[in-house]
Amino acid sequence: MKFKFNIRREVKIVTILVVVFALIAFTERMKGEVSVGDIEINISNVHENHFVEESDIMNLMQVDLAQMKGMSIAKVNFKEIENRIKKDPFIEDAEVYSDLKGNIIVNADLRRPIARIVRNDGPDGYIAEDGTVMPVSDKFTPRVVLISGTYVRTLLSQHNILNLDQGKNIMEMLNMIQEDAFWKAQIAQLDIDGKGKVSIIPQVGDESIQFGYAEDLEVKFRKLNIYYKEILPRVGWNKYNRVNVEFEGQIVAE
């Protein structure tokens, strides 16, 4: 096997490497010479979930700005500060870095709740869109579907409900409700028994909807859609007390 040696190409590669290493060395040197300035905190509230404020981020950072000011920016452990912030259950991700003036920039993204777990014998909790179980907050109360019933104890015992086989199905059901304007407006509460079977409590209407396990979701929601769009307009909203879409090929109304 023969190798062709191209002097021009090799010189270019060496030159590029030298420039890259020089820039890295220059950047590190500049960091060493730059002193800590202010702290700038940016909280992403795209969905208007005001669980966390700037003062909360400062507390999570566990830094004393008065003591830090004037010290070399190179001595700041940005990764450690990031990890402290990420430990908060309301925060999905965080990024900490410095600008050329020595200011410490903090960008924090909040988790978005899609359901609230409610119970009578203890504190409630939220389920975020990534499945994380979060505590309630006295700063913000979002309007989301409620989850009640015996099974909530199991959900609240988890850091993330996706760790449960049944939790994955419940999460998929919550996402389908969240993404559909009609179901998001009409479904007020999911009552889940100890076996994981779901009953839907609607926003409008007095009937209890027996959904069964959170599986075969498209088929069951299609049957529910028929019930709301075709059956109720003919018989009236207060005709039935209980509707069951659990069984294949059937809509049972009593």
Q: Does 63 lie in the same domain as 141? A: no
**What's the half-sphere exposure (Cβ side, CA atoms, 13 Å) at 59?**
6
pLDDT in tens, 41-68: 999 875 667 788 888 999 999 887 777 7
Residue 64: give the domain boundaries. Answer: 1-110
Instruction: Give residue-wise pLDDT tens across range 107-150.
Output: 999 999 999 999 888 889 999 999 999 999 888 888 899 999 99
Determine contact, residues 133/156, Cβ cutoff 8 Å: yes
Residue 92 has pLDDT above 60, yes or no: yes
Distance of CA 136 to the CA centre of its chain: 14
User: Residues with Cβ < 8 Å from 170, sequence gap 6 or more?
Assistant: 147, 155, 161, 190, 192, 196, 198, 214
Assign residue 227 the CATH number of its domain: 3.40.50
Does residue 91 have a pLDDT over 70?
yes
Higher pLDDT: 30 or 65? It is 65
Q: How many domains does the chain have?
A: 2
Q: Which residue has the tokens 């005001």?
A: 50
Q: Which residue has the higher pLDDT, 27 or 162?
A: 162
Residue that finishes a domain, picked among 110, 130, 146: 110
Query: If pLDDT is split at 50, 70 and 90, which confidence band does 71 have?
Result: confident
Q: What is the CATH number of the domain that holds 7?
A: 3.10.20.310
Residues 41 and 129 in one domain: no
62 & 73 share domain: yes
Higher model confidence: residue 138 or residue 183? 183
**Together in a domain, 141 and 228:** yes
In tens, the pLDDT along 190-237 reads 999 999 999 999 998 888 899 999 999 999 999 999 988 888 888 777
pLDDT at position 29 is 46
Q: Is residue 182's pLDDT more than 90?
A: yes
The arithmetic mean of pLDDT across residues 76-102, rounded, is 91
* Per-residue pLDDT tens digits for 237-249: 777 888 888 888 7
For residue 122, what pLDDT is reported? 83
Burial of 109 (0-12, 13-18, 19+ CB in 10 A): middle
Query: What DSSP assignment string belongs to 151-211?
Result: THHHHHT-SBGGGSHHHHHHHHHHHHHHH-HHHHHHEEEEEE-TT--EEEEESSSS-EEEE
Q: Are residues 99 and 154 in the same domain?
A: no
What helix, strand, coil percent values describe the chain, rounded to 5? 40, 25, 35
For residue 93, is pLDDT > 90?
Answer: yes
103 and 118 assigned to the same domain: no
Q: What angle do CA 231, 232, 233 make, to 5 degrees?
A: 95
